[in-house]
Structure 1
């Protein structure tokens, strides 16, 4: 199989991208070299890729801003006899709006088939009128992420981690308010990832008297190796999202066998077994999360889940994922 990876010379303009860097400074996976040619603001680059003689094009669907470009490429690919499989992370943006949903729908209409990571997202596609074949396959653990070397020392009895780009819908403020209310000692919450939204509010919460010495903020891109060290050091990963259709953070937690503390959104509830592989609490309820932190979530409780976390990885691998994509690309193929 001849595999080509096309990526972006420019994904977002500076106005829409508050981060410092949208490209992996470590260069990504050397086994598959990316060709950087796509520019979301230059339709000529879309046209060049759309005429590329690929039998199957696999693309993401995740935000309205790139939907016009990806929809145009998909239509050109199909016009030239290729098939298009879309890996759908969002049917509509987290910051929902009517015109944004219409742009997303325009892209999604150009697919021959969809991959989603949850049944909830598959239902959203059907409810939006997309009748193409849909395969639901869980996000596999990131097996290619490195092992930790143990370079980050533990300094607190309980180590918690919020990981990834910090945006309003991810509820990092809920984690901070809950930790302040829980009033527990010898705990550290590490927030690792560029802060895109609500910076002043989050920094003020972290600097409050109740959280003195309990919060570490790493406001920048985090390399794969540093990611490994952060997950290895923590006892549990906290993801108090207000909205979600899937999360790569849970796949990372699975990779490093760490339990998760998540809001009981449909996109999470089917992935977390409360009390066995993590803990669930009502969406947006910082008092409920504070109760869990005060009474239930301990280092010992997290360690006791290790055997259950080992079991959750069985059969949930990248071969299964790749076969699901190929089955949509080649309808006669079976997983």
Structure 2
């Protein structure tokens, strides 16, 4: 591209809702605007004048979902063309026949596509390899992943092709979402929690790869004065199997459940009220919840997956335990709460981590460099 970038668009089907991609889009938009690049968001929400609602948030029937998909992407991409936008950002989560559509249409309209590959392998296990290769090899101009682990995995998936067209650009943090007027005391009162007890938090979508079973199996060995809060709704998973572990170990008095979609306001309360976040993931490419916790200076205990280790440094800005090892998880939680100095140091280093490495203004500049 010969001319300097002055306009860019983010086209996002997920947007506001269970995926909470609106946080991501708006933060990246803000970064672009600070670099004097007009950024338009085509999604299912309207937050400002550069947000254009082209998708419907609630789709009930299968036909409605397909029409929403086709009409929304068609409208968004033609609007980009009309506005003279030459570069668009697309979010990639899976490779199916339907997912091919926006990439093919972008090519036909002559739009340059920067594709953020969030999940190298679909969490819904519905990838079609041929479609995946068409999207990631033929119909994308540049691929972006959030860490080195994802880059290595992606290169394996596309057989080492396009090595020079894959960039690592961090997922930003969410300090802009925190509400300083909400204190720990206010949050605990709102949630009906004890002002003196200790609480650890499991937050977000509940699915098998998130390892909630690992955490629940650890609870009998976690100190008795530490309680667990589970806040989130199941996604292609049955909570009954987790309830059976709670019943088996008679944990009802130590486990507080809110098995539902968590609003922004309640998210604020949970992250302010709790003493640590637990991420017992068995598989993950990048955790937005982890970056959210760092933004709240909430200490993290996470499984030692490669993607987690690129952010969490053990006993510096969080704690790591052996993946799928409930006993080690319990030990790390107990160690963190037993050492007040360690707990305070970890809290202090959370914000330093996001300010140095996960700043949206710096991230937007990387996308501008890619676009130019």
Q: Which of these residues, 142, 150, 155, is aligned with residue 174 of structure 2?
A: 142
- Cα distance, 1:290 vs structure 2: 1.9
Query: How many pairs are equivalent?
Result: 316
- Structure 1 residues 145 and 210 mapped into 2: Cα distance closer, same or farther (>3 Å)? same
CA distance in 1, matches of 2:228, 2:123: 25
CA distance in 1, matches of 2:114, 2:168: 13
CA distance in 2, matches of 1:91, 1:7: 18
Match of 2:176, SS? coil
Deviations 1:258-286 (A, max 9, x none): 12111111111111000111111111111
More helix by share: 2
Task: Specify every segment of 5 or more residues in structure 1 that has no aligned partner in the other structure, as ranges.
Answer: 12-19, 331-335
Matched, 1:173 2:173: no
Q: Which of these residues, 36, 60, 79, is aligned with residue 91 of structure 2?
A: 60
Q: 2:55 is matched with which residue?
A: 37
Q: Which of these residues, 285, 289, 314, is aligned with residue 355 of structure 2?
A: 314
- Cα distance, 1:304 vs structure 2: 3.0
Q: 1:72 is matched with which residue?
A: 101
Q: Which of these residues, 109, 118, 125, is aligned with residue 89 of structure 1?
A: 118
Conserved 8 A contact 1:141-1:255: yes
Deviates more, 1:257-266 or 1:156-165: 156-165
Conserved 8 A contact 2:295-2:350: no
Deviates more, 1:245-254 or 1:219-228: 219-228
Task: Specify every segment of 5 or more residues in structure 2 that has no aligned partner in the other structure, as ranges.
Answer: 1-5, 23-43, 57-63
Q: Which of these residues, 296, 299, 306, is aligned with residue 259 of structure 1?
A: 299
Conserved 8 A contact 2:87-2:114: yes
Q: 1:333 is matched with which residue?
A: none
Q: 2:227 is matched with which residue?
A: 188
Conserved 8 A contact 1:179-1:293: no
Q: Aligned runs of 1:94-173 on 2, under 5 Å?
A: 94=123, 96=125, 99-109=127-137, 110-129=139-158, 130-131=161-162, 133-147=165-179, 149-150=182-183, 151-153=186-188, 154-155=193-194, 157-173=197-213
Normalising by structure 2, what TM-score?
0.76
Conserved 8 A contact 2:229-2:256: yes
Q: 1:323 is matched with which residue?
A: 365
Normalising by structure 1, what TM-score?
0.84
CA distance in 2, matches of 1:251, 1:294: 23
Matched, 1:271 2:311: yes
Conserved 8 A contact 1:174-1:240: yes
Deviations 1:166-185 (A, max 9, x none): 11000011111101233x22
- Structure 1 residues 77 and 277 mapped into 2: Cα distance closer, same or farther (>3 Å)? same
- Structure 1 residues 307 and 5 mapped into 2: Cα distance closer, same or farther (>3 Å)? closer
CA distance in 2, matches of 1:28, 1:227: 19
